[in-house]
Amino acid sequence: MNFKISVLCVLFSSLAFAQTSVSGYVFEDTNGNAVKDKKEKGISSVAVSNGIEVTLTDKNGRYALPVYGDHTIFVIKPADYRTKTDANNLPKFYYHHKPNGSPADFKYKGTAPTGKLPAEVNFALYSTKENKDFQILVFGDPQPYTLKEIDYFRRGIINEVKNNKKNAVFGISLGDLVGDDLSMHPHYIAAVKELGLPWYNVIGNHDMNFDAKEDPFSDETFEENFGPANYAFNYGNVHFMVLDDILYPDPRDGKGYWGGFREDQLKFIQNNLKLVPKDKLIVVAFHIQMMPERDGDDHFRMEDRKRLFELLKPFENVLMMSAHTHKQTQIFYTRGEGWEGAAALHEYNVGTTSGDWYSGTADATGVPASVMRDGTYRGYSFIDFKDNKYSIQYKAAGHPDEFQISLYVPKVIASRRNSARIAANFFMGSKNDLVEYRVDAGEWKPMAYTETMDPSFLQSVLRWDTGTELLQGRRPSNPEDSKHLWMAAFPGKLALGKHRLQVRATDRYGRIHTAEQEFEVKEPNPVP
């Protein structure tokens, strides 16, 4: 029989399995062979986990952990060390202990039987100097369903990032690495490998084994291809914690999935954070966003969110990152949402590399433009860390770094009784940001934050519905209200002729972003 740790194992492990243990060393691999040789010293005070318990190595670098059934044992990389990466730039910081292997009847295979535990499970680390000021790359939902879409991902994202990595030291993809067909994982891995950076991965709802009858088995193929679905590591003064926040099958009815955590995952989070200094920045990466998008939306189990918030409360600096929605939103939790920390808790719901699922007509690179339903352009993000603080910059694929605002400005307006409106979609914006406009270098005036459909994106979708011939590509999804849109009326008494509209947005980090566009004022053309 194939066993894997589950909620019942956590609560009643003595009834389910005869407890054994795993032990070994975390050591500095000075000769690079990934084997602990006699002269190689252990490293003290390094965290190691079985996915539930977390322990620190002793003065000799030795650890010991209980084993109840199937586990993935992993080291939590400390700052100023690196783990080995494989030929695909995937970090190798774990050991699968699955004596009987993954379920044999799954459509997509997992881990082959590993047999008995070895006498020691050792983890090699390599000393390196990590700057506390560093940068990472973040991808949301590559989600290719076909080899053609892998090609879109490579041409539209990978080829650009290869020449625009800036100072990124590693990258992370926030789930939905592929679209249900898990045999596509190697193609995704091969594409990301081209970036030449260590790359961490989060499981998404489209990366799961749908054959699973219980949630702990839903990540078997992901684990074989990428390692544990729940893990942590440190870089500089930042502690990263990666979590699987998808319950499959949905425990309410056994169908579909639900956002949330199992009890063993919450125990891991608790045990892990106990050992993290309170002055560190905590970055929590998961796939499904935790804030309901609308009234009555119960896509996430709120008691699990509440427990996570309680565990994060002692930390002054926290950033959460999610993807999944194929939109981009800055979410801020306060007491009204159950967050009791000193400042609002920020969840960055990241725009996706696949945009609106590779829809729309082709852009300049020959890849579907894939503008998202909220008007955000397909792209990726850079996060800059300075000690235990962070700032984020979004990069629209195929556009200059400065393209942070998409404008909707009517090309021509009447000089009198004009009801036309200007719209500015500030991709990284939130309702707390200041967005202003002016005409012809006049006085700056505030624009009004408005949650409505982006008129430019609406116009692009209507092209598909009003034409008499099908456009090349696939019709985009229907527009939805944007959470980063500002609108304003044209000022009155504009002279006939051409004018220049300018918009500037001041983001939460104090940076100013600008955009501008021309329009023309003409005499009204009344009906005779």
- For 447, the token pair is 């624009």
* Residue 380 burial (C-beta neighbours within 10 Å; 0-12, 13-18, 19+): buried
- The DSSP-derived string for 454-513 is -HHHHHHHHHHHH-SSPPSSBPPPPP-B-SSEEEEEPPSSPPSEEEEEEEEEE-TTS-EE
* pLDDT given at position 17: 42
* pLDDT given at position 8: 39
Tokens 């839903």, residue located: 218
> 230-261: per-residue pLDDT in tens?
999 999 999 999 999 999 999 999 999 999 99
- For 44, the token pair is 């003290």
Mean pLDDT per 10-residue segment, the chain (528 residues): 43 46 97 94 98 98 95 97 98 97 96 95 97 98 98 98 95 98 98 98 98 97 98 98 98 96 98 97 98 91 98 97 98 95 95 98 94 98 98 97 98 91 98 97 96 97 94 96 97 93 97 98 92
Backbone angles phi and psi of 196, in degrees to 5: 70, 25
* pLDDT given at position 19: 55
Considering the chain, what percentage of its residues have pLDDT values greater than 70? 96
- For 493, the token pair is 């008494």
Task: Say if strands 238-242 and 281-285 run parallel, antiparallel, or are unpaired.
Answer: parallel
* pLDDT given at position 123: 98
Q: Which of 146, 152, 193, 159 is nearest to 173 (CA)?
A: 193
* pLDDT given at position 6: 45
pTM of the predicted model, to two decimals? 0.94
The SS3 call for residue 90 is coil
> 412-425: per-residue pLDDT in tens?
999 988 899 999 99
> 329-344: per-residue pLDDT in tens?
999 999 999 999 989 9
- Give, as one character, the DSSP assignment of residue 380: E
Q: Which of 90, 83, 79 is nearest to 196 (CA)?
A: 90
All domains in the chain, ordered by first residue: 7-126 (2.60.40.10), 405-522 (2.60.40.10)
Query: Is the dihedral angle over the CA atoms 63, 67, 72, 76 positive or is it negative?
Result: negative
